[in-house]
């Protein structure tokens, strides 16, 4: 398996990142006043955000399944983890400059950094990943406590009120989605490896390349969007 190219997984990951970029571009258009939308309550946008984050984390779980199947060692895991965690810190710093009152302190990359460790440690749990994923998803709907409403504890997800922040992806319920991605990936690698590693049409080859560079794309797209729209807003003043 270590010689296979998982182009189909890369394409799926690229779909998630392109969809996320499109969403962010619309969000930035709204921020600079080019459109007027409510990204916090309008179901058209809130449902998209849930779907995008779900696909993104599901793909992260699939990727962990591939890494586990290939026997990825801890040194390589920590190198990749360090990239994700470092980028999460950069997101916090950049968002603080732009949104000091609602900066991102536990967004999608912060969540992924924590979930990567959990999924790595639990990759050998087999079929238990499915019910545990379900439990993680439903638990926040039944268990909440004010203790988890502070900035130091709300990363767990058992909150009674949503924090004021531009992006919030807590451990619960989102760990359940990544666990399901891990479980699905392990099942596919054992029974249907071609679903992840098969060839893709030539037209989709650029997406496969983009999927392999998803973290770099994620880090670059917002500065480019914001810079371009800020310049346009200044020009049109």
Report pLDDT digits (tens) over 26-42.
Answer: 999 999 999 999 999 99
Q: Please, what is the end-to-end C-alpha distance for the chain in angstroms?
A: 56
- Angle, CA of 215, 70 and 5, to the nearest 5°: 60
Nearest to 108 by CA among 160, 164, 175, 42: 175
What is the pLDDT, as a whole number, of residue 3? 58
Render pLDDT for 174-231 as a digit per residue (tens, 0 to 9): 999 999 999 999 999 999 999 999 889 999 999 999 999 999 999 999 999 999 999 9
With a cut of 70, say whether residue 1 has pLDDT above it. Answer: no
Among residues 171, 2, 127, which one has the least CA distance to residue 73?
2
Contact 179, 126 (CB under 8 A): no
The answer to whether the pTM exceeds 0.75 is yes
> Residue 119: what pLDDT?
98
């Amino acid at each position: 398996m270590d010689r296979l190219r998982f182009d189909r997984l890369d394409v799926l990951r690229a779909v998630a990142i392109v969809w996320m970029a499109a969403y962010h571009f619309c969000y930035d258009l709204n921020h600079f006043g080019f459109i007027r939308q409510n990204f916090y309550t309008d179901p058209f946008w809130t449902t998209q955000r849930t779907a995008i984050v779900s696909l993104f984390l599901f793909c992260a779980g699939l990727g962990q399944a591939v890494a586990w199947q290939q026997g990825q060692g801890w040194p390589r895991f920590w190198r990749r983890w360090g990239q994700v965690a470092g980028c999460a810190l950069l997101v916090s710093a950049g968002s603080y400059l732009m949104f000091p009152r609602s900066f991102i302190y536990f967004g999608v990359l912060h969540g992924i950094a924590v979930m990567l460790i959990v999924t790595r440690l639990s990759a050998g749990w087999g079929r238990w990943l499915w019910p545990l994923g379900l439990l993680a998803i439903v638990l926040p709907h039944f268990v909440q406590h004010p203790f988890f409403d502070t900035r130091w504890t709300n990363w767990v997800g058992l909150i009674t009120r949503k924090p004021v922040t531009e992006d919030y992806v807590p451990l619960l319920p989102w760990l359940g989605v990544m666990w399901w991605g891990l479980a699905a990936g392990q099942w596919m690698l054992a029974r249907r490896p071609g679903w992840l590693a098969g060839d893709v049409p030539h037209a989709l080859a650029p997406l496969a390349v983009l999927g392999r560079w998803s973290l770099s794309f994620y880090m670059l797209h917002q500065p480019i969007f914001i810079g371009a729209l800020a310049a346009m807003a200044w020009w049109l003043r």
